[in-house]
């Protein structure tokens, strides 16, 4: 990030409270058990004064090692942390004054006398965190100002970046620093414990199809999933079935009820998508819905399906030719209204537009898929992007199964995707197939698990995919 000290430029005081920082540290010395509540709220970066950063980092080390936090152990930990920082400063040719035991002891004893009780530690922590956010906002404003003065990008690109920086700050995801392996492992082991005990991985989203989930081991929360098929194979219906099942899962879990399924439809209108979803959920013939020739029993099923879908947090945008920046802007606004994107579906890739002026279709698709992967990481949600395939599977006239090289317009689709899934229905090519309703779901690429093919059933009149038997091919 460019160094731009806006507060200094304007002659203003940098936001921080030495008293609040001291009170947080002093509260931990009085009641070490309260540090457990602080770990999810504060990091050492939230402290403005270097000595306070060093002391909090030392407390974190003691906590991670399951050691008691008291004045004696803290002094030793501060000296150790300071020595490590001095070594790092020497390697990077920075000036740094290492703290010795006498100096550390003097300041630790001073901190211990600042606060009479730890009862208000969370209020002190909130003050420290609020001032940290204000300082980060100053830095972000400086970066935005530098970009605007530099004029190296189009205004809409600079505006999109500014919006992203402010959004990340508001969501608490603005930490651009390295994470130590011990902190990463702590979160990873905690998640593995949940998986072992509850069978639910907090870092994945299930499709709702058991045979597919067994093969994929769920969609990672920052995965770009490409769903490719020739026209008529049912890729839109497959994506909508997954979207509905994921949204129902979010609605049924208390901890996920603020999550939303976001659908960008560049080909079909939102009303057409809603009609398909109603047909699938109500099990009413889609042709009947279009013709209007349905009876009272159909109405009852449609009403029940409508109630079920209305309870789901599903949002549909049918803006044609939308760019990745346009999607991100809408997703950020949605997130600000307490509807966190939990799954993003895009139908389909080749109808999207690039944020850059690119005439070459291959380069355009490459730019889009790269930014879709970045979007998945930014929102920490899987992105399912539908894609056309080339005519390769049909050139022989027999309709061979699709392969990765059939992805249309760019090899970067395969490169950027974490998961690539193809749909193949033999009945589409053969007049008398063995099984007219059989569909093969081909996992052609999977960064997290196995590849291979699973068999499902396609009910065309309801635009619905169902699992008939858990078997691999």
Residue 267 appears among annotated catalytic residues:
yes
Q: What are phi and psi of 156, to 5 degrees?
A: -70, -30
Residues 6+ apart with CB under 8 A from 265: 272, 273, 316, 317, 318, 347
Which residue's structure tokens are 């109630």? Answer: 307
Tokens found for residue 430:
């053969």
- Closest by Cα among 349, 361, 363 to 321: 349
End-to-end CA distance of the chain: 51
Do 393 and 400 touch, CB atoms closer than 8 A? Answer: yes
Q: Which of 103, 163, 267, 394 is catalytic?
A: 267
Q: Are strands 259-265 and 314-317 parallel, antiparallel or unpaired?
A: parallel
Do 74 and 62 touch, CB atoms closer than 8 A? Answer: yes
The full DSSP string for 246-305 is: HHHHHHHSGGGTTEEEEEEESSS-HHHHHHHHHHHHHT--HHHHHHT---HHHHHHHHHH
The residue count for the chain: 473
With residues binned 3-state (H G I as helix, E B as strand, rest as coil), the percentages for the chain, rounded to 5, are: 55, 15, 35
Which are the catalytic amino acids? Answer: 267
């Amino acid at each position: 990030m460019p160094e731009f000290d806006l507060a200094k430029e304007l002659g203003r005081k940098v936001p921080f409270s030495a008293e609040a920082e001291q009170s947080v540290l002093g509260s931990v010395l009085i009641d070490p058990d309260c540090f457990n509540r602080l770990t999810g709220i504060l990091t050492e970066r939230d402290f403005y004064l270097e000595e306070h950063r060093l002391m909090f980092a030392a407390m974190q080390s003691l906590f991670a090692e399951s050691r008691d936090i008291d004045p004696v152990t803290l002094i030793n930990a501060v000296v150790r942390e300071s020595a490590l920082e001095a070594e790092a400063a020497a390697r990077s040719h920075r000036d740094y004054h290492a703290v010795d035991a006498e100096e550390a002891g003097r300041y630790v004893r001073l901190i211990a006398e600042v606060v009479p009780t730890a009862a208000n530690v969370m209020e002190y922590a909130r003050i420290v965190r609020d001032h940290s956010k204000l300082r980060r906002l100053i830095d972000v404003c400086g970066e935005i100002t530098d970009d605007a003065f530099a004029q190296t990008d189009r205004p809409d690109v600079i505006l999109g970046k500014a919006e992203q920086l402010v959004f990340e700050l508001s969501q608490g995801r603005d930490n651009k620093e390295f994470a130590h392996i011990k902190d990463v492992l702590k979160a990873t082991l905690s998640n593995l414990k949940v998986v072992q005990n509850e069978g639910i991985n907090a870092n994945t989203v299930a499709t709702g199809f058991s045979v597919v989930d067994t093969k994929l081991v769920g969609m990672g929360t920052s995965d770009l999933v490409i769903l490719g098929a020739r026209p008529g194979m049912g890729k839109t219906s497959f994506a909508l079935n997954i979207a509905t099942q994921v949204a129902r899962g979010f609605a049924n879990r208390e901890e996920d009820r603020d999550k939303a399924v976001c659908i960008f439809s560049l080909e079909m209108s939102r009303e057409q998508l809603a009609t398909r979803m109603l047909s699938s959920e109500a099990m009413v013939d889609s042709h009947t819905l279009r013709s209007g020739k349905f009876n009272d029993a159909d109405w009852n099923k449609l009403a029940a399906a409508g109630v079920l879908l209305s309870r789901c947090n599903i949002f549909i945008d049918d803006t044609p030719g939308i760019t990745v920046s346009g999607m991100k802007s809408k997703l950020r606004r949605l997130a600000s209204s307490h509807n966190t994107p939990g799954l993003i579906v895009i139908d389909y890739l080749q109808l999207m537009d690039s944020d850059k002026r690119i005439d070459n279709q291959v380069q355009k698709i490459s730019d889009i898929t790269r930014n879709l992967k970045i979007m998945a990481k930014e929102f920490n949600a899987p992105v399912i992007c539908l894609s056309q395939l080339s005519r390769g599977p049909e050139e022989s006239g027999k309709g061979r199964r699709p392969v990765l090289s059939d992805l249309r317009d760019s090899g970067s689709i395969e490169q950027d995707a974490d998961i690539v899934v193809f749909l193949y229905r033999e009945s589409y090519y053969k007049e008398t197939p063995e099984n007219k309703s059989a569909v093969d779901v081909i996992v052609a690429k999977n960064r997290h698990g196995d590849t291979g093919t699973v068999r499902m059933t396609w009910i065309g009149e309801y635009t619905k995919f169902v699992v008939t038997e858990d078997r691999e091919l």
